[in-house]
Structure formats: structure tokens, C-alpha cells
Structure 1
Amino acid sequence: MSGTDAAGEAPSDAQAAPAIELRLEVVVLPVGDVDRAKQFYLRLGWRLDADVSGENGFRVVQVTPPGSPCSIIFGSHVTAAVAGSSESLMLVVTDIESARADLLARGAEVSEIFHDAGGVFHHAGTEARVPGLDPERRSYSSFASFSDPDGNGWLLQEIVTRLPGR
């Protein structure tokens, strides 16, 4: 198997494809109010997969964005991370304008669409954000952001044509 990384370099032996599949299926999200978070994500149209309570206040809620093979879980006694400390969680969409409009209609506070001044991915926070769609409407280059009630940060990223090997 051959290929190049994002910098155009051939992968080393250590970067070769793993012998087994590794699928990211669940991301743990730190929240302060489980019911508020659950209501927020359900209002966005995410599927409720589980809401399970256990001993000593343990509770785990699992929800999945429409069309995603990866879910998020949050709850009580699920993570020691500070509520709202996750950032740049990426939701890939094929039409960022429609996705943004849908989230707005569902009550999310979504930023205006932006692209990065450098033309590659995005910088931390709001640094180097340029208002509007990527001028060439390139895949991977147009974004919008929103946060859940705890401040966990999400990014919409428009991808119409994937990079080779994806």
C-alpha cells in the first residue's frame, strides 16, 4: 500500500495501516446537567440510544447524530473532565448552509459560516476566521460553530469530495 500524508510525504513503517480495524464509535462529553444536555441533543434531532442509571448517582446517556456511526455519551460519574471542556468536535456535512439552517430551526445558536484565512482547516478559537463560505467552495474549507448548553464546542465542516484514501 502506498500513499502520502497531508504534507505529501510517504508514510513510514510506523505509520503503515494497522493490522486490525480501529473504529471510533463513542466520544465521552463532559456536561454539568445531564437532563439539559439530553434535551438539547434530542432537540437537534439526535437519536437517543440509551439512558441508563446505576448506583450512587451514576447515569449514562448515549445519543447519535443523524447519519453518524459515532455516538456521544454523557452523564453523571462518567468522566472527570470539566463540564464544557470539549472543543472542536467535528460534524461533517455535505451542505453547510442547509445544515446550519436546520440547526438554527431546532434552536441551536450557530455562528455564521466562515473559512480560515490560511485556507487550511481552522485555527483555535475564532482566530483567523474569515466570514463566508470558502471562496472556491473547496471541501474541508467551510465551517460553522455552535456549543451545547455547557459550552462543549462543535464545528460543522463541509466536505463534498473526500481526500484520496478516505
Structure 2
Amino acid sequence: MEMRLELVMVPVTDVDRAKDFYVDQVGFVADHDHVVSDEVRFVQLTPPGSACSIAIGTGLTQMVPGGLDNLQVVVADADAARAELVERGVDASEVDDQAWGRFVRFSDPDGNRWTLQQLPAWSAAGPGRDD
């Protein structure tokens, strides 16, 4: 059985502020922004090159805003990714070099935490990877 993770809910307090952060500062693509009813607004955002998107909005989840601790995405170059985030006004950590990768961390305005990982050369072309 094949399963693909394609959407992760990210709990936020202010949908417009979060959308601006993810699109204007982090560089995600705004796929959808629909007000379904007075209780539901669905905003889908996708990191460039990703098959998985995030959803922010109202009426989507019971999670507490800021409650996601460490969503992780893979980047080709941690230094370049960090430089781009900082240039766009994101408070991103220095690159953290580990044996299992190079990491940059940041949080959205609600405190949901993200990690960018540059895979080490020995695992970058592992099973299931074509990059």
C-alpha cells in the first residue's frame, strides 16, 4: 500500500499574519485561500519543490497555535537557505553541523518550530531519493 503525506495542519492565531510570514518571508507558494463559511477559512501553502503542503486557517484543527514542534524540510544547501531566510527577515539560527546533516531552525510568529536539513552526502542519494 502506498501512502503519501500531502497536507499538514499548522495552528496559528492570525491567519493573515501567518500567510504573510510563510509566503513573503519563508517563500512558500500560496495555493488556496478560501473562506468556506463564517467558521472555516482554508489556506494551503506549499514549500517550493515539495509534494507536501501546510494548511493554516480557522476551524481546521484543535491544536494550540504554536504547538507544532519541529516540522522538518530538506534543502540542498543549508547556508544558502539560511541566507535567503535572513534576507527575507526571518530570525533563523546559525547552521548547526552534525554528522547526520546540517540544520537551520526558525519559528513562525506563533512559535511553531521548523528545521531545514541539508542531508549529508552519504545519505542524500539514499533509497527513495533522486536528487
When normalised by structure 1's length, the TM-score is 0.71
**d(CA) in 2 for partners of 1:57 and 1:27?**
20
1:89 aligned residue: 71
Q: Distance in 2 between matches of 1:36 and 1:26?
A: 20
Task: Measure the CA separation in 1 of the matches of 2:31 and 2:43.
Answer: 8
- How many angstroms does 1:163 deviate by? 6.3
**Structure with greater strand percent:** 2
Residue in structure 2 matching 1:150, options 110, 113, 118: 110
Residue 117 of structure 1 is matched in structure 2 by: none
State the Cα distance separating 1:144 from its structure 2 match: 1.2
Amino acid at match of 1:42: V
Q: 1:162 aligns with which of 118, 124, 128?
A: 124
- How far the C-alpha of 1:95 sits from its partner, in A, is 0.7
Q: Report the aligned-residue RMSD.
A: 1.4
Give the Cα–Cα distance (whole angstroms) in 2 for the partners of residues 165 and 56 of structure 1: 45
Deviations 1:43-62 (A, max 9, x none): 12211100010223310100
Identity between Structure 1 and Structure 2 (%): 45
The CA distance in 2 between the partners of 1:162 and 1:82, in whole Å, is 34
Note the residue ranges of structure 1 that are not aligned, 5 or more in a row: 1-19, 115-132
TM-fit CA distance, 1:63: 0.4
CA distance in 2, matches of 1:41, 1:144: 16
The structure carrying a bigger helix percent of its residues is 2
TM-score by length of 2: 0.89
What stretches of structure 1 move > 2 A for 4+ residues in a row? 160-166
SS at the partner of 1:157? strand
Partner of 1:126: none
* Structure possessing the higher relative contact order (Cα contacts under 8 Å, 6 or more residues apart): 2
Number of aligned residue pairs: 125
After TM superposition, give the deviation of residue 162 of structure 1 in Å.
Answer: 2.7
Map of 1:117-128 to 2, 5 A cutoff? none
